[in-house]
Amino acid sequence: METSAEGVAGTVGDEGVAAGPGAEAAVRTGAVGVAERVAAAPASLSPSRAGDFMQCPLLYRFRVIDRLPEKPSEAATRGTLVHSVLERLFDAPAAERTAPHAKSLIPGQWDRLRETRPEVVELFADDPEGERLARWLGEAERLVERWFSLEDPTRLEPAEREMFVEAELDSGLKLRGIIDRVDVAPTGDVRIVDYKTGKAPRPEYAEGALFQMKFYALVVWRLKQVVPRRLQLVYLGSGDVLTYDPDLADLERVERKLLALWEAIRLATETGEWRPRPTKLCGWCDHQAVCPEFGGTPPPYPLPVRAPGGGTSGEGAATAADGDSTEG
């Protein structure tokens, strides 16, 4: 899912570690009490990180293993803000879940975001008069208001909001993530809902958008032995709602895909071979300076590399910690 933390460095995201995008790293405390991040082999998979590897294996390495810093963006931070408002709205009684009330939550949630993630303050460091911030907050208001034309919160009582889920497959692979909203009908039917602050994709790209939702459906099925009745993507940027009703065969296909993906990640982790995959998305990547496609050199690989004979090589390589810290 596109979680409320997605794209904001140093936050709790969809892999459960408070350390930024894909922060699957061990944490230890030095003598002076300063947290030191230690590179670790990946131990779980989220929709975001699966998407990273499919988009560009080197990007996955930079985010998950090297944990290179990334600057917060206005779009991703606005998404975080809108997600938090829609989550908090359901704290109010049904009759009070109105658009004016939702918009009134924005200033307080923005203050909270700045306190918990101080790095977002730099987004408007060059805006002393606050004009750009005002426009940015105004766009957040418009996104929140548009949601009321797509769903009626007075008729909804979510079973879960911002629900962290984790399931272990028979293979040992851990799948984890954060689901924006889970609705359960009186009949027991489950609906998984995800908010998107961007625009709906063209029909030919809908399957890619649904991958994340099918991932969550697989996790819910593994946890509850229930196939969700409906998957729903709510696009606030364009005012569209995309729905899909999965069946068990869908989830089995997704599981096979994830197992194949995980095997590719495991192999790359052992060999240290993370190949860049150039696309038009490279223009938005924070890591061009260390990407071979842009004339850069990646940092030294921080994990042991398995030599052809079965041993490991690599001077000064950090030893991978077993498992995750507890975003990953």
Q: What is the DSSP letter of 199?
A: P
Q: How confident is the model at residue 313 (pLDDT cuts 50, 70, 90)?
A: low
Helices marked H in 148-183 — which ranges? none
The first and second tokens of residue 25, run together, are: 């790293």
Question: Residue 27's beta-bridge partner residues?
Answer: 37
What pLDDT does 12 receive?
Answer: 32
Is residue 55 predicted with pLDDT exceeding 50? yes
Task: Say what the pTM is.
Answer: 0.83
For 169, other C-beta atoms within 10 Å of its C-beta total: 16
| Segment 102-140, tens digit of pLDDT | 999 999 999 999 999 999 999 999 998 999 999 999 999
Mean pLDDT of the chain: 86
Q: Which amino acid is at 36?
A: E
SS3 per-residue string spanning 305-320: EECCCCCEECCCCCCC
The first and second tokens of residue 33, run together, are: 């009490």
Which region among 103-117, 152-166, 231-245, 301-315 has the lowest average model confidence (pLDDT)?
301-315
Q: Is 20 left (phi over 0), alpha (psi -120 to 50) or beta?
A: left
Going from the C-alpha of 125 to that of each of 118, 128, 242, 254, 284, the distances in angstroms are 12, 7, 37, 43, 21
Whether 165 and 223 have beta carbons less than 8 Å apart is answered as yes
The first and second tokens of residue 65, run together, are: 């293993």
What pLDDT does 36 receive?
Answer: 52
More confident residue, 317 or 297: 297
Nearest alpha carbon to residue 106 among 129, 87, 125: 87
% of the chain exceeding 90 in pLDDT: 78
| Segment 247-303, tens digit of pLDDT | 999 999 999 999 999 999 999 999 999 999 999 999 999 999 999 999 999 999 999
Q: How confident is the model at residue 315 (pLDDT cuts 50, 70, 90)?
A: very low
